[in-house]
Amino acid sequence: MGRKIVVALGGNAILVDNPTAEAQKEAVRKTAEELVKFIENGYELIITHGNGPQVGNLLLQNLEANSKKNPAFPLDSLVAMTEGSIGYWLQNALQNALTKRKIDKQVATVITQVIVDQEDPAFQNPTKPIGPFYSEEEAEEEMKKGSGVYKEDANRGWRKVVPSPKPKGIKEIETISKLVDMGQIVIAAGGGGISVTEEKDGQLEGVEAVIDKDFASQQLANQLDAELFIILTGVDHVYVNYNQPDQKKLEKVTIEELHQYIEQNQFSPGSMLPKVEAAIDFVNKGENNKAVITSLEKIEQFISSNTGTIITK
């Protein structure tokens, strides 16, 4: 077998300005043309992806049509639906790219349940906004009806907020591992996976929560004993002093150096910080583990000359 790698796709790999299914499928087709380069170079590929805009749009559609005859679905079901739809787009596009190159490999999407801890502090302090904006009066009415917690969102109105707990494990890890061992390309843990809690009797219960896709991807990579964890985002490198005159790109960096940059508040909590933290966690858990943060467009350069931010112990 080749080197086992987990590649976490950023939102720009799927979403374009036009949110129609056809436009997103075209974006995914272009993404597949880049991802197949890993296969051509002998890697065993596991893919994860985001779903924020897609699950947000699906939630709005559900709420717009909500009625007694057609009730809106809860968040865990919506995450599962987008795992399926985006997984299908990726699976279809990758299979076509492989066929075009006469590469005999199959692609499988695994709808993935990610276990979270009921005692995670995130459940006591939900912070992840989802769904439409409400006035303060409307939000109070929704809370009286027991539909969740609502908070003001950057002076734009009130929105429902849900927890963002850390992932504890991947329920389908054995299935995913067996597929990888069979030489299949696997798409898993889409959108951070479906949040579930595990009861003492082993029963799984879906919960309204949003798991950060980078942490879920890191958890998957560690449980699969992958050698390489690649986070594809909108920039070619991680930067310090970003957008300042003394901006500096990081090419080869240790986790100790990254901890120092985190203490300096160099990385934005809403974008680069979770990526850096997920990369650190992955590298920490394996003696020879290596993580990479770069852009989709730089895949070929990474394969040929290690372009991107390379993170090691």
pLDDT digits (tens, 9 = 90+) for 137-170: 999 999 998 889 999 988 899 999 999 999 999 9
Select the more confidently predicted residue: 15 or 165: 165
Instruction: Judge whether 155 counts as a catalytic residue.
Output: no
pLDDT at 290: 96
pLDDT at 258: 97
Instruction: Judge whether 166 counts as a catalytic residue.
Output: no
> Whole-number mean pLDDT of the chain?
94
Please identify which of the residues 51, 62, 128, 131 carries the catalytic annotation: 128
**Averaged pLDDT, 84-96:** 97
Question: What CATH number has the domain spanning 4-117+167-312?
Answer: 3.40.1160.10
**Averaged pLDDT, 56-81:** 94
pLDDT at 14: 85
Instruction: Judge whether 275 counts as a catalytic residue.
Output: yes
| Longest Cα–Cα distance in the chain | 60
CATH 3.40.1160.10 residue ranges in the chain? 4-117+167-312
Confidence bin at 126 (pLDDT 50/70/90):
very high
Select the more confidently predicted residue: 286 or 7: 7
Among residues of the chain, what percentage have pLDDT more than 70?
A: 99
Would the pLDDT of 262 be above 90? Answer: yes
Instruction: Judge whether 12 counts as a catalytic residue.
Output: yes
pLDDT at 1: 66
pLDDT at 144: 94
**Averaged pLDDT, 79-91:** 97
Please identify which of the residues 160, 193, 222, 275 carries the catalytic annotation: 275
Other CB atoms within 10 Å distance of the CB of residue 118: 11
